[in-house]
Structure 1
Amino acid sequence: MEVVLEPVISELVKGLFKILGSNEVRDFAQQLVGGVDSKLKELKDKLTHIGNLLRNAQDKQLSDESVKNWLDNLQQWAYDAEDLLDEFAYEALRNKLKAQHQASSSKGFSCLPACLPSPLFAVQMGCKIKEINSRLDKLRQQRSAEREDQERSGLPPTNVAAPPKPEETSSVRPEQKVYGRNEDEAELLKMVKSGANFQVIAVVGMGGIGKTTIAREVYNHKELEDIKFDKKAWVCVSTNFKVEEISKELLEQFSKEVPKNFNEIQVQLEKAVSGKKFLIVLDDIWKVEYQQWETLKSPFAAGAPGSMMIVTTRDTDVAQTIRCSHTYQLKLLSNDACKSLFQEHAFGAGAFAVPNQISDSIYKRVVERCGGLPLAAKTLGGLLRFKQSDTWENILESKIWSTSDERDHILPALKLSYHYLPSNLKRCFGYCAIFPQDYEFEEKELALLWIAEGIVQPSDKQLDEAVRKVESTIF
């Protein structure tokens, strides 16, 4: 996901203010020669002035490339400033603790010379702070000049007010009703039950259309209990089709012992399925080479008649490459199904609005914005659930709907729901972008990484809130 930069920078700026406002930093700066104290005060003043420019840029970054580039440069500056002030705060604390230790172990004033900061450190730090101030000045002047140019040109301001719910990729059936997919489910079940030999079914459709959902419904359907599959497995593939990793994940679901050698993994896979009927789902394949597919598939030829593999993909080329037995093109949801799915997520316990407060024109706009995609309906419903009904119109008219690029594979509804997260949680969520897609991590691991990066403080209530919010967003 392309992270909206302004909230991230705002949190960085808050962190800089916190360091500059600490007693240790102020006291230490006053001890240094070379005007370090005045340079830090100058930096604090400049940060105050940058706030107005940031608030103005929040809206414009969605549609103005120059603003986005300016924010990107400002973000890099903020990270450099954070590193510099962290170094300064560390030295301030170290000097304070050293003085306290010497005071407790020495008599009189014999410790004073050893407690004074190094003049070399003061000179070096003063130069660094001066350079940071100069860079911020240039960025501030650049943005001010751009705003003046826009005002002279008469361009109207953009107005976008300031949670996402990606599709879960798992064989576990969620406690939610599936709307508008009865015919799709019946057709796929028919294909699965009619297989005489090992077959591959490809479910094809654009992102957010519900491929994973329909595959999960079929995978867990009661009608398949009569078929009595001996082995069942579900693997999310995503952007990287790595034969060894996929084979290993499949074997882990069939056997307790998994060898490290790839050839041995395939041998054990073949033994595990030999003479047995199996159902395997390979979810969300983005790209695959023919030879890769043949290598992955080879152990499963030993399975019993009626064995089945279901593949979900956005790309019809994938279905052609794997030479599947059946290709099922998943269609968009009907308007009625889309509306029903939206209502399930927008109303109910804890919701700020009730159905009879929403006009038909608003429902019509909701259906248009969802575009027949269940993921969009769920996400938009989850977002509006916690908004007063009189604000729905503004959200549905947000410029985000018209600034999305289909090539980035991100639904406007997902961008919008991210945009409405509180700024502190945006930075937590944005940090998750460093992980590869479908990376699995423990909540505690992620929380510790946030702490290590200084995004949250270990004693801050924000930590628990952030973990819950990002968990609900990602999963």
Structure 2
Amino acid sequence: MAATVVVNIVVGPLVKIVLEKASNYLLDKYKVMKGMEEQHEILKRRLPAILDVIADAEQAAAHRAGAAAWLQAIKKVTYQANEVFDEFKYEALRRKAKKEGHYKELGFSVVKLFPTHNRFIFRNRMGRKLRKIVRADVLVTEMNAFGFKYQQQPLVSSQLRQKDHVMSDPKKITSRSRGKHKEKLVDMLVGQANNADLTVVPIVGMGGLGKTTLAQLVYNEPAIKKHFNLTLWVSPKKKKKKKKKKKKNDATSKNNLQKLVSGQRYLLVLDDVWERKDDIWEKLKACLQHGGRGSAVLTTTRDGGVAKTMGTVEAYNLTAVEDEFIKEIIETSAFSRFQNEEERPAGLVNMVGEFVKRCVGSPLAATALGTVLHTKTSEEEWKDVLSRNMFCTEETGILPILKLSYNDLPPHMKQCFSFCAMFPKGYRIDVDKLIRLWIAHGFIIQEKQVCLETIGKQIFNELVSRSFFQDVKQVHEIEKKLNMTGHVIPELHAKSMILCMMLHFL
């Protein structure tokens, strides 16, 4: 959810990448900018000036349409500049290869008849492109008119190392806070033992209240494992528009599903259902009704309409977590660098109650907010966070706090997170592949004596700790066992795969 909101206002990292390319020593060494020195110098002066105020501009874009439009224009020009300096770098590397005698090895000798590498033609063509970018000086004028201010960016690596001291798991606190709810749901499901009809229990609540966590607690409860012969967990993905599949595939999926549940007393968890598809649910339900007496479906959703469509009993409306647990979650994250409670600064401890009110009983919001506060060490910094507009409501959910957490990220982390908007909701990300993509796009900043892959993993862990990603390898017991290859989730359990096929073809 957060990715789609903030992706359009991420510009700073792009500008920084272009500045690094424009300052590459190869451009001067192999004289690829000859005849364009003036435009080159203008860009090298303007880019740092834009970087100085870009963080303030990105924050202003959330509530100022003019600032948002300016950022979009800057983004467009920056992408153009990025492509231009990629061409300059390529030309510099080509000249380097030729000078060092590697020309024939790289196959350039076969293109001598073409004018592509003629220096006069190259200078003429690239000069036009560069002048087009430099002429966008109106954007600099507008930048000054908006009055954007310089903001000091946080030191990332030190923050990441600090978090490595002691980091308690806020999820355990959330689990404790939902103990009574778990008992009620377990009793409700086990109590249907003699019911010949399929029981469907929806858990309904605002995003971030811990519906999935509660479903996990129920799913892993020993009494549930003992009572049901078969337990399954599926997270339906949002359906994309695709061409119609053959009826043969539909029939095969339905038959497989019926065989799986036939005669079995099963519990199926459908986690995070969004779409109201009455026809799809009726077809799926028809297959699921072949299960044994006492079978049940437990589903989680934010949508009361979905709960009404699917439920056979009254929906279980999940209430807010009590303030004492929200406070504990915030303190666990915010003060994780302290070994003992006595070491926590009294002034900061006294301010926690104000932050509790902002979370409206959401453990996810408390986790995100606590992670932001972890990087702030003075009362002035905490007061600054309190002064920001981050009140959660039924309409906004926890988005204001997630945006606060996002705005607190360093520029290159924003870029890494925004890049993930390319993945559909519910997509199981291969972390190693994602990090390689970040590296390939130049999003990760090199540090001395630290390899890029290590930095990439630190960035991913930071984003997880700020609640931007769900660490799906912890979703439930079955998927934990499959997570031995280093990926987040390499595959689904075979039984769950059949259900996914069913959901896909319907």
The verdict on a shared fold, with TM-score over 0.5 as the criterion, is yes
Q: Matches of 1:143 and 1:405 in 2, distance apart? A: 33
In the alignment, is the contact (CA less than 8 A) between 1:283 and 1:311 conserved in 2? yes
In the alignment, is the contact (CA less than 8 A) between 2:56 and 2:150 conserved in 1? no
- Offset of 1:95 from its aligned partner? 2.2
- Offset of 1:457 from its aligned partner? 6.8
In the alignment, is the contact (CA less than 8 A) between 1:333 and 1:374 conserved in 2? yes
In the alignment, is the contact (CA less than 8 A) between 1:62 and 1:400 conserved in 2? no
In the alignment, is the contact (CA less than 8 A) between 1:366 and 1:396 conserved in 2? no
Residue number in structure 2 paired with 1:140:
140
Q: Matches of 2:213 and 2:437 in 1, distance apart? A: 32
Residue number in structure 1 paired with 2:80:
80
- Offset of 1:133 from its aligned partner? 0.6
Residue number in structure 1 paired with 2:111:
none
Residues 471 and 289 of structure 1: CA distance in aligned 2, closer, same or farther (over 3 Å): same
Write the deviation string for residues 382-410 of structure 1: whole angstroms up to 9, x where unpaired: 332343152553354242415x8966655
In the alignment, is the contact (CA less than 8 A) between 2:186 and 2:218 conserved in 1? yes
Residues 465 and 406 of structure 1: CA distance in aligned 2, closer, same or farther (over 3 Å): farther
Which amino acid in 1 is paired with 2:443?
Answer: I
Instruction: Trace 1:91-130 onto structure 2 (pairs within 5 A).
Output: 91-101=91-101, 117-130=118-131
* TM value normalised by structure 1: 0.80
Which amino acid in 1 is paired with 2:49?
Answer: H
Do residues 284 (structure 1) and 272 (structure 2) align?
yes
Residue number in structure 1 paired with 2:181:
184
For structure 1, which segment, 12-21 or 120-129, has the greater mean C-alpha deviation from structure 2 after superposition? 12-21
Q: Percent identity?
A: 29
- Offset of 1:176 from its aligned partner? 5.2
Residues 448 and 318 of structure 1: CA distance in aligned 2, closer, same or farther (over 3 Å): same
Residue number in structure 2 paired with 1:236:
235
Between Structure 1 and Structure 2, how many residues are aligned? 432
Residue number in structure 2 paired with 1:380:
369
SS in 2 for 1:337: helix
Residues 306 and 370 of structure 1: CA distance in aligned 2, closer, same or farther (over 3 Å): same
Write the deviation string for residues 173-218 of structure 1: whole angstroms up to 9, x where unpaired: 9655524323322221121011123200000001111111111111
Q: Matches of 2:433 and 2:410 in 1, distance apart? A: 22
Which amino acid in 1 is paired with 2:383?
Answer: N
Instruction: Trace 1:201-240 onto structure 2 (pairs within 5 A).
Output: 201-227=201-227, 229-237=228-236, 239-240=238-239
- Offset of 1:240 from its aligned partner? 3.6
In the alignment, is the contact (CA less than 8 A) between 1:293 and 1:322 conserved in 2? yes
Residue number in structure 2 paired with 1:44:
44
SS in 2 for 1:436: coil
In the alignment, is the contact (CA less than 8 A) between 2:338 and 2:344 conserved in 1? no
In the alignment, is the contact (CA less than 8 A) between 1:274 and 1:304 conserved in 2? yes
Do residues 423 (structure 1) and 411 (structure 2) align?
yes
Instruction: Trace 1:392-471 onto structure 2 (pairs within 5 A).
Output: 393-401=382-390, 410-456=398-444, 461-471=451-461
Q: Matches of 1:458 and 1:71 in 2, distance apart? A: 26
Q: Matches of 1:351 and 1:239 in 2, distance apart? A: 43
- Offset of 1:93 from its aligned partner? 1.1
Residues 53 and 180 of structure 1: CA distance in aligned 2, closer, same or farther (over 3 Å): closer
Write the deviation string for residues 248-285 of structure 1: whole angstroms up to 9, x where unpaired: xxxxxxxxxxxx92321210110111101111110111
- Offset of 1:428 from its aligned partner? 1.2
Q: Matches of 2:242 and 2:310 in 1, distance apart? A: 14
SS in 1 for 2:351: helix
Which amino acid in 2 is paired with 1:186?
Answer: E
SS in 1 for 2:271: strand
Residue number in structure 2 paired with 1:306:
294
Residue number in structure 1 paired with 2:29:
27
Q: Matches of 1:130 and 1:391 in 2, distance apart? A: 46
Residue number in structure 2 paired with 1:3:
6
- Offset of 1:345 from its aligned partner? 3.1
In the alignment, is the contact (CA less than 8 A) between 1:5 and 1:75 conserved in 2? no
In the alignment, is the contact (CA less than 8 A) between 1:62 and 1:399 conserved in 2? no
Residue number in structure 1 paired with 2:89:
89
* TM value normalised by structure 2: 0.76
- Offset of 1:358 from its aligned partner? 4.5
Residue number in structure 2 paired with 1:261:
249
Write the deviation string for residues 119-142 of structure 1: whole angstroms up to 9, x where unpaired: 12211100000001112x121112
Q: Matches of 1:356 and 1:161 in 2, distance apart? A: 24
Which amino acid in 2 is paired with 1:375?
Answer: L
In the alignment, is the contact (CA less than 8 A) between 1:17 and 1:44 conserved in 2? yes
Do residues 336 (structure 1) and 324 (structure 2) align?
yes
SS in 2 for 1:101: coil
Q: Matches of 2:226 and 2:335 in 1, distance apart? A: 38
- Offset of 1:59 from its aligned partner? 4.2
In the alignment, is the contact (CA less than 8 A) between 1:215 and 1:310 conserved in 2? yes
Which amino acid in 1 is paired with 2:20?
Answer: K
Q: Matches of 2:386 and 2:254 in 1, distance apart? A: 53
Q: Gaps spanning 5+ residues in structure 2: where?
A: 106-114, 160-169, 472-506
- Offset of 1:303 from its aligned partner? 0.5
In the alignment, is the contact (CA less than 8 A) between 1:241 and 1:288 conserved in 2? no
Residues 297 and 390 of structure 1: CA distance in aligned 2, closer, same or farther (over 3 Å): same
CA RMSD of aligned residues (A): 3.6
- Offset of 1:313 from its aligned partner? 0.5
Do residues 63 (structure 1) and 52 (structure 2) align?
no
